[in-house]
Amino acid sequence: MSLRITPLTDPAHGPHGRRLAWLASDAESNPAGTAFLRLLDGGQDHLAELDLRVHPAERRKGVGSRLLDTAVATARDNARRRIVAQAEAGSPGDHFLAARGFRKVLTFRYTRLAMAGVDTTVLAGIVERPHPGYRLASWRGTVPDDLARTFAASRRAMDDMPVDDAEYGTVAWDVDRVRAAAKAVEQRGDHLHSVVAIDASNGSIAGFTELVIPGNGAGDGQHYGTGVLPEHRGHGLGRWMKAESIRQAHRDYPDLAGLLADTADSNAHMRRINDGLGYTPTHTTHQHQLDL
């Protein structure tokens, strides 16, 4: 098969990483596959994330291998030591990555909460139960100025999340970074909702949960992360915040169909929270890593 790999201009360049893209096409210029390589920074400058897709009709013709070779060479040129990629368990992509030298380092369980089945009475009971020493706060979009510093500091709650054999590094969060992340969601037309638990003794944020809702308020929303700082764990804050996030989504977006969550298989605590709130399994993916 005569194949051409064409670099593309990708608009997803930001202050905390950039993304490169390539299109594979045949002799008649018909698209056969794409590859996107995201080069991370801020504590993850050893890492590149790969998203590689080949049209089903063009598989087993060397398209994926050519795209992968291009992405690997680019990662090396940019001094990356690891490439990570995800694929649904048992899928052609899963087998492709394993056959090309990637090793499975992490398993994700994907779940969904159908909004039609949400029991608002149960949610209210969780949210309204007192958590002595803490209070909830929430906002839409960018964090308010008076909470910006403590919100950025609270992101270290994710530093020790279970990642099995994956080598993510530690993301360096500051006020500019949390604001840039919120801006990116806004620019693509979606709605970012944050719920936090605040330590009443000093006004600092003890934990957070984030939810992104499609711009039209329909379809499925996506949980972006839930974390509680180590010194505040054991008080039920994760379940409390997530229940409030669900309650708000159910109240504010009547056309919303569901909420999606992905959790590391080894993160038993968060999986128990999701199970208890009514999330049901949809599928499993494997994260693969290639050491360069």
Residues 67 and 163 in one domain: no
List of the chain residues with pLDDT < 50? none
Residue 290 within any structural domain of the chain = no
Structural domain contains residue 104: no
Q: What is the predicted pLDDT for the residue at 161?
A: 79
Q: In this predicted structure, what is the pLDDT of residue 170? A: 74
Q: Structurally, how many domains does the chain consist of?
A: 2
Task: Give the domain extent around 274.
Answer: 110-283
* pLDDT score at 283: 97
Cα separation values, 215 from 185, 188, 191, 221, 253, Å: 10, 8, 6, 10, 11
Asked whether residue 138 falls in the same domain as residue 74, the answer is: no
| Domain co-membership, 14 together with 134 | no
pLDDT of 45: 83
Q: Where are the alpha helices (DSSP H) in 106-210?
A: 120-128, 148-154, 175-187
At 2 the pLDDT is 83
Mark whether 274 and 151 lie in a shared domain: yes
Q: What is the pLDDT of residue 164?
A: 73
pLDDT of amino acid 1: 62
| Phi, psi of 32, deg, nearest 5 | -120, -25
Query: CATH no. for residue 226?
Result: 3.40.630.30
pTM score, two decimals?
0.89
| Residue 91 falls inside a structural domain | no
